[in-house]
Structure 1
Amino acid sequence: MALMADNHLLLLLHCFMKTTRRNGLQNAVEQIKSESRRRRRYRLRTYHLHSQQQVLMLMLLRERQTSQCRQKAIHSDHFQFLRKFEACNWLEIFRMSKDTFIYLCDQLRNSLNRPGLAPEEKVGIALWRLSCKNKCPLLHQKFRVGRNLVNRCLKEVCQAIITIMKPIYLHPPDCQSLKDKARIFNAHWGFPHCIGALGSFPIPLSSNSRRDGTHALVLHAVVDGQGLLWEACACYPDNMSSSTILENSALWDLAQERRFRTASKDHFLGKAPNYFLLANSSYPLKSWLLTPYSKDGQLNQREEQYNLHLERALSVAEIALLRLRARWQYLLSPFGYTTVPTLALACCVLHNMCETLEQRFDASWLEGVETMDLPVLPQSLCQTCPTDRQAESIRDAVCEYFNTQAKM
C-alpha cells in the first residue's frame, strides 16, 4: 500500500511539474509576443512622428519660400511704383512723404490686394485725386487710367482707410485719456477742463448731385488741443441747424451715455461734473458744452473776457479744418452725393495720420482756400432749446475763474 501511495505521489508531482513547465513556456511566449508588439508599436509611432516632422518642415519651407516670393513681389511693386516719381514731387502730389506713403500702403495692402492694379497704384491714384480741387489730367497720363477706374480706386481706398485706419487715428477718447486731453488743451489754448472744440464747414455739391434742395453737406467735427479730430461726420444737409445736427450726432449719444463725466475729485471748481466741449452760439448751452454769452444783451467786462477766451480756444477747430481742406482739396468741389460722406471721413483720417506723423504742411496749399466761395452756414442763435440752469451756473463759474486769473 505504501508503494502505491508513493507511485501516486510521483505521478501527481510529474503532472504538476509538466503543467508548470507548460504554463511557463506559454507565459514566456506571451511575453515575447507582447514585447514584439510593443517594439512594433514603438517603431510605427517613431516612424509617424518623423513623418509628421518631415511634412511640417516641408510646409514651413514652402511657406517661407512663398513669403519670400511675396515679399519680393511687394518690394518689386514698391520699386516699380516709386521710380515713377521724383523725391521732390511726393509732398506736392500725395501730401505726404515717401516713407509715410509706403506705411499707408502696407496697412491697406490686404484690403486692396485684388486682381488688377497694385495696391501702391490704387493708393497713389486715390491720394492724388484727393489732393486736387479740379480734374487732374496728369493723373490719367501718369497712371494711364480712365475716369471710371479713378473713381473706383478712390472709393475702394477711402473705404479701406475708414475700415483699417480710422480705429487707429480717429476715435473718441477713453476714460483714461480724457484727463490728458484736458491738460493739453489748457496748456495750448488756455481753457481749463476742456477736451475739444466743435467746428464745421460745408462741402459744396455739384449741380447734378444736389437733392431735395441740398446744396452742400456739412462736415461736423470735434478737434482736440493738438488739432486732431476725434469725432467727424459729413452726412448732414446744409439746411439743418447746428443744434439739430448736434442732437443727431454720435457726440450727443456719447454725452447721454455720460462718457465725459469726471471723477468726483476732479470736478472743476466743485461744480462741473463733466469735461467741457466748446462751441459757438448756434449750439445749445449744456453742462458739457459751453457757448459764449449772447451779445444781444449788455455784457459786462467779465462776460466779454470769457467770450474772448472761448473765441481764442475755438480757433483750434478753425485752423484744423482749414488745414484739412487745404491738404485734401477734393473737399472743395467733390463729385457725387452718396460718396461724399465716405470720402470726407477718409480725408479726416488721413489728416490725423499726417499730423500725428508730423508730415510737412506747405503754406502754398492755403492759396484760394481761405477766400473760396463756400455756402454760408446758418449761424443764428440757438433759441429753441430750453434753458439749462445747471449749465448757466457752470458757465458763470468758468467766467469767474477767468476773472480771478486776470487779477492774479
Structure 2
Amino acid sequence: MLSNLLHLQNQLDPTTSLLSDSGTTTSATPSALLTTTSAAPLLFFTIAAVLSYISTARKPQSPPPSPSTAAQYSVAAFRALSTERIWAMDPHTRDVQWRSLYGLSFPVFNTVVEKLKPYIAQSNLSLPSDYAVAMVLSRLSGGISAKTVAKRYSLEPYLVSKITNMVTRLLSTKLYPEFIKIPAGRRRLQETTAAFAEIASLPNICGAIDNTHIRLHSLPSNLPNPNIFINSNGYKSIQLQVVADHKKIFWDVCVKAPGAVDDVAHFRDSLLYNRLISGDIVWEKVVNVKGHAVRPYVVGDWCYPLLSFLLTPFSWNQTGNPAQNAFDEGLMKARKMVVDGIGLLKGRWRILQDMNVGLNHAPQTIVACCVLHNLCQIAREPEPELWKEPEERGVVPRVLESEKSFYYFGESFRQVLADDLYQRLSSR
C-alpha cells in the first residue's frame, strides 16, 4: 500500500504557493517546496487509507440498549400507573390500556383486588396485593408461562408459580360461591326463563350446558396412564363443563375428567347431575303447557341424555317432523348462549388455549378463569373475539336404568313443547 501511495505522490503537480501561519499566501523556495510536496501528500493519503480501513473493518454497532424490561413491570412502575397516572387518563383510554395488560378494566380489577386482599394479606406475601393480582392476571389473559412472567417481573419462576397458585386458588374457592350460583332465587329465575323464551320461543329454559376441552401444554413424566388425557381430537386435555344463562354467565362449573372421557360420563360424574337426580335441586317455577306441568330445565346437544331436567334435540340434522324441527331450532338458539360463553372465556383468558401450569393446579386455574369471566359479564365488559372450536358430533348416549323414569318424562313433555311451539308459529 505504501509503494502505491509513493507512486501516486510522484504523479502530483508541485504547488507554487503555501499558506503561512498567518493565513496569507507565500511563495515557497525550491527547497521548502520540495519538502512540502514530498511529505504532505504522503501523509494525507496515509491517514486517508488508515481511516478508510478502520471504517470498513468496523463492525456495525447494535442500537443502544432499551430500558430494562423488568423496570417497566416493577412495583414502582405499577404503582405509578395505578395510583398516579391512572386518574389523569380518560376513563375509556385507561380501561383499554388496563384490559390490554390484565384482561379487564380498571374498576373490575379493583373489585378483584379488594375481594382478595384480606386473604393475600394472611399469606405474608412480600409483594403488594394489587401487584400480585396484576401479575397473575397478566399471565391468565396473555397465556404466558411462569418463566416468561418471571423474566418480565425480575422474579424467580418458582415464586411466580407460587403466586399464581395462590391467587387462582383464592378465586376458585373464596369468590366462587359469590359469582357462580344456580339461579334458585325467584327474581333471577324469572328473569332467566323470560330471556330464554325471547331467544328460543320455548318456556322455562333456565340454562344451557356444554363441554369443552382445555388443552394441556405438557404432562408430568411419571403419570401411570398419560393416554387417558388424549382426547378424540388427538391432543392432551382436561374437560370443562359449564351451564350458562342468557347473559353467558356460568351458573355451574365442573372440571373433573381427563380428555379421553366422553361428555356424558363427565356430566354424570358432576355434582349438578347428582343433585338433580336426587331431587336436591327442584325449581318451583311451573309453566302449564297443554295440561302438562313444565318445571325449569336445561338444554344441551345430542351428546347429553334426554332427561326431565335436560332436554336435547330430536335430531342433529333436522330430520324430524315440522314440529320437532321447530323445537330443535329453538333449542339450538338457546344453546348458543353457552357456546358463545365458552368462546368468550377462552378468548379473554388465553391461558385456557394452552394450559401451561402444573396438572395439579390446572382445575383451579380453569375455575378461576370462569369466575373472572362472570365478573366481566356482570360488569358488561366489552366482549373479545370469540375463540372458535371445531364442531363435535358425538353419539346419542344410552339411557341408564336409574335414568329411565326421567327419560320417559322428558320425552313426553319435549314432544308437548314441540307441538305447542309449532302451533304458535303456525298461527302467526
User: Which range, TM-score by smaller chain?
Assistant: 0.7 to 0.9
Aligned with 1:249 (options 270, 283, 304): 270
| Alignment check: 8 A CA contact 1:217 1:234 kept | yes
2:398 maps to 1:383? yes
2:425 maps to 1:406? yes
Alignment match, 2:116: 108
Task: Give the deviation of 1:185 after TM superposition.
Answer: 1.9
Alignment match, 2:128: 118
2:94 maps to 1:94? no
Task: Give the deviation of 1:175 after TM superposition.
Answer: 4.4
TM-score, length of structure 1 as denominator length:
0.73
Deviation string, structure 1 residues 138-174 (Cα, Å, up to 9, x no partner): 7445522232221111110111112322121111122
| Alignment check: 8 A CA contact 1:132 1:328 kept | yes
Q: How many residues align?
A: 326
Aligned with 1:327 (options 317, 327, 348): 348
Q: How does 1:201-280 map to 2 (within 5 A)?
A: 201-209=212-220, 211=223, 212=225, 213=227, 214=229, 215-258=236-279, 261-263=282-284, 266-280=287-301
SS at match of 2:247: coil
5+ residue gaps, structure 2, are 1-75, 87-93, 230-235
Aligned with 1:145 (options 135, 141, 155): 155
258-267 or 338-347: which moved more?
A: 258-267
Task: Give the deviation of 1:233 after TM superposition.
Answer: 1.4
Tell me how far apart the structure 2 counterparts of residues 329 and 311 of structure 1 sit (CA, whole Å): 26
2:362 maps to 1:344? no
Tell me how far apart the structure 2 counterparts of residues 297 and 323 of structure 1 sit (CA, whole Å): 28
Task: Give the deviation of 1:307 after TM superposition.
Answer: 1.2
Tell me how far apart the structure 1 counterparts of residues 318 and 329 of structure 2 sit (CA, whole Å): 16
Task: Give the deviation of 1:383 after TM superposition.
Answer: 2.5
| Alignment check: 8 A CA contact 1:262 1:273 kept | no
> Could you say which structure has the higher helix fraction?
1
Deviation string, structure 1 residues 260-298 (Cα, Å, up to 9, x no partner): 535486444432443110011111100111011135895
| Alignment check: 8 A CA contact 2:202 2:421 kept | no
User: Structure 1 residues 379 and 338 mapped into 2: Cα distance closer, same or farther (>3 Å)?
Assistant: same
SS at match of 1:339: helix
Aligned with 2:142 (options 121, 126, 132): 132
Alignment match, 2:302: 281
Aligned with 1:294 (options 285, 306, 315): 315
SS at match of 1:237: coil
Task: Give the deviation of 1:98 after TM superposition.
Answer: 1.4
Deviation string, structure 1 residues 313-338 (Cα, Å, up to 9, x no partner): 11111000000000001011112211
| Alignment check: 8 A CA contact 2:214 2:354 kept | yes
Task: Give the deviation of 1:108 after TM superposition.
Answer: 0.5
| Alignment check: 8 A CA contact 2:194 2:204 kept | yes
335-344 or 296-305: which moved more?
A: 296-305
| Matched residue type, 1:398 | L
Tell me how far apart the structure 2 counterparts of residues 286 and 192 of structure 1 sit (CA, whole Å): 16
Root-mean-square deviation over aligned CA pairs: 2.8
Q: What percent of counterpart residues are identical?
A: 20
5+ residue gaps, structure 1, are 1-75
312-321 or 92-101: which moved more?
A: 92-101
